[in-house]
Amino acid sequence: MTNRITDKLIELNDVSYILYGRSSKVIKIKNDIQVDLEILLDCVCEVFGVTIAQLASKSRVADFVYPRHIFSYIAVNEGLGTLKNIASFVGDRDHTTIMHSHKVAAPSILQMPDVKDKYNELIKQYQETTYFMNYGRY
């Protein structure tokens, strides 16, 4: 693709800078939402020390609920799918559960220092994993 003003090729880095400035946000080259949600789910389970079955269960134990809310919060923020699609990854829940997680539950949970530390670790791990998946190296 060429720039109509200068007839130069437009590079991905130029687009990255225009869209995100100097943000560390990873640009996703592939649009496979299913894979991105699976990667996020695996990262959440690893960082919080839970299994996918525990995360998707109907349990209201805080050790399972917090990671479930954090998964929903990140998935919505990253635009990894519709509310219904995200809900299907956390135990076939309703889309309104994801809305609640994103707007109310996760922000209040993130006020807890230990959960905030795990959240930061999770974001770093998720970004590194998706970067590697998209680009193959650092």
Mapping DSSP onto H, E and C, the string for the chain reads CECCCCCCECCHHHHHHHHHCCCCCCCCCCCCHHHHHHHHHHHHHHHHCCCHHHHHCCCCCHHHHHHHHHHHHHHHHCCCCCHHHHHHHCCCCCHHHHHHHHHHHHHHHCCCHHHHHHHHHHHHHHHHHHHHHHHCCC
Query: What tokens were used for 15?
Result: 């687009």
Tell me the pLDDT tens digit for each residue of 32-67. Answer: 567 789 999 999 999 999 999 999 999 999 999 999
Is 90 exceeded by the pLDDT of residue 131?
no
Query: Which of the two residues, 93 and 24, has the higher pLDDT score?
Result: 93
Rounded to the nearest angstrom, the gap between the alpha carbon of residue 35 and the centroid of all alpha carbons in its chain is: 11
Can you tell me the distance from the alpha carbon of 89 to that of 45, in angstroms, rounded to the nearest whole number? 12
Domains, the chain, ordered by start? 30-135 (1.10.1750.10)
pLDDT single digits (tens) 112-124: 999 999 999 999 9
